[in-house]
Amino acid sequence: MGLNNQWMQRDLAVLWHPCTQMKDHQQLPLVPIKRGEGVWLEDFEGKRYLDAVSSWWVNVFGHANPRINQRIKDQVDQLEHVILAGFSHQPVIELSERLVKITPEGLTRCFYADNGSSCIEVALKMSFHYWLNRGQPNKKRFVTLTNSYHGETIAAMSVGDVPLFTETYKALLLDTIKVPSPDCYLRPDGMSWEEHSRNMFQAMEQTLADNHDSVAAVIVEPLIQGAGGMRMYHPVYLKLLREACDRYGVHLIHDEIAVGFGRTGSMFACEQAGIRPDFLCLSKALTGGYLPLAAVVTTEDVYSAFYDDYPTLRAFLHSHSYTGNPLACAAALATLDIFEEDNVIENNKALAQRMATATAHLVDHPHVSEVRQTGMVLAIEMVQDKATKTAYPWQERRGLKVFEHALERGALLRPLGSVVYFLPPYVITPEQIDFLAEVATEGIDIATNSTVSVAVPKDFHPGFRDPG
């Protein structure tokens, strides 16, 4: 029995993995990883895998980055953790100062959580509580986009709309208002992204006009709906949304957990629309992919609504044990140093162009309906009929075939259903991008080289897909 198999058997005896039907591992070997370096992950038998998905979208400067490593090592000898209620520490203060400096003007206050889902819960609670403190308790509903994803906790699921994650738990979810997504994959032939996004805003405008008295906030994933299949839309939608939220007296929450920190081509996606949300939710790449940390960056107006004498009970009494953990803050500070010192955003433009060039041939693939890209995110959508964009039945699990082929070739590509995507660390080289394009093309050829064996029901919903 090889080392990989030994570790796999020990794992399967005691672990329950996330986002996984564990029975799959009767046929699909689990990959135990011993070490990482740069874009590479290495298993216990020495095989390497190029991490094309940044280990669930978190790693931006490579595994075992020496600069982040050193910052954490220095911090662990000073302070590993301290309660953040009534106490503070240098890393969390410095990190907050820097986040306020680099985020859009007017975002002045940082509140920390442990992960993305918790971050969303904080923003939702803050918005509701703000209106309560301002004497408008009726403003307690949230507006979200169809096909959106904001996390796995109950309130975060409530403002999501990917059935694979929400359908089972419908009885537990909050009553939210869902507005059609500006997803440009669905635009009519010949229509630009901008025109389609403008047209789709009409539904949001009407929803806010009809419901603003009861709505606390609108929450969106700016520019890219990640778990919804890397579906993308034009920044004009965000500009129109900001104007409408101001007009109707509704908060705007930007979930930049996946798309912040350079992923879309700017430091934050909201910059491309020239706007500032009321709540900016950050996590994932915040620590360079090292440690769990999330921040809600908000305005002085929101902060002041909670600032009062204790007996008024206006305080925001939300907490996590590891809020503002010093080790995580140290990793985040090192990550921001790299952004500041290495001209990352500009360098990414060349890498993004190489991704586009390396995959350009797939536009003509008979079973690829679209190759779309925003910054350092590129998605390739496989379909059974290119002319009609008819999707493959989710039961076919075509993306799984791409995943398995990529592992054989030494790459970690984890498609979202039939959507193959590249979301690599920013330290990837042009040659490594070419390798990923080659592997993806081979995998797509294999995955689409058989006829459909499962009938597509009339109520087919593409939201039921292999989770990414």
Amino acid in the structure at residue 218:
V
Closest of 317, 267, 257 to residue 115, by C-alpha: 257
Is beta strand 177-179 parallel, antiparallel or unpaired with respect to 141-145? parallel
Q: Is 242 annotated as a binding residue?
A: no
Contacts of 430 (CB under 8 A, 6+ apart): 350, 351, 354
Residue with tokens 């009609």, as numbered in its chain: 388
CB 416 within 8 A of CB 227: yes
Closest of 387, 457, 386 to residue 418, by C-alpha: 386
Determine the Cα–Cα distance for residues 332 and 77; give it in Å rounded to an integer: 17
3-state secondary structure of 380: strand
Determine the Cα–Cα distance for residues 58 and 47; give it in Å rounded to an integer: 22
End-to-end Cα spacing for the chain: 30
Q: Is 255 annotated as a binding residue?
A: yes
Closest of 158, 183, 182, 181 to residue 169, by C-alpha: 158
Backbone angles phi, psi at 419, to 5 degrees: -105, 110
Q: Is 307 annotated as a binding residue?
A: no
DSSP E strands: which ranges in 266-322? Answer: 279-282, 294-299
3-state secondary structure of 403: helix
Q: Is 117 annotated as a binding residue?
A: yes
Q: Is 321 annotated as a binding residue?
A: yes
Q: Rounded to 5 degrees, what angle do the CA atoms 434, 261, 264 make?
A: 55
Determine the Cα–Cα distance for residues 323 and 96; give it in Å rounded to an integer: 13
Q: Is 125 annotated as a binding residue?
A: no
Q: Is 56 annotated as a binding residue?
A: yes
Polymer length of the chain: 468
Q: Is 309 annotated as a binding residue?
A: no
Q: Rounded to 5 degrees, what angle do the CA atoms 225, 226, 229 make?
A: 85
Determine the Cα–Cα distance for residues 59 and 115; give it in Å rounded to an integer: 14
CA 449 to chain centre: 31
**Dihedral sign of CA atoms 17, 153, 299, 345 in order:** positive
Contacts of 191 (CB under 8 A, 6+ apart): 199
Q: Read out DSSP for 319-373?
A: --TTTT-HHHHHHHHHHHHHHHHTTHHHHHHHHHHHHHHHHGGGGG-TTEEEEEE
Known binding-site residue numbers: 56, 116-117, 149, 255, 284, 319-321, 414
Binding site for pyridoxal 5'-phosphate: what residues are annotated?
116-117, 255, 320-321
Residues flagged as binding site for substrate: 56, 149, 284, 319, 414
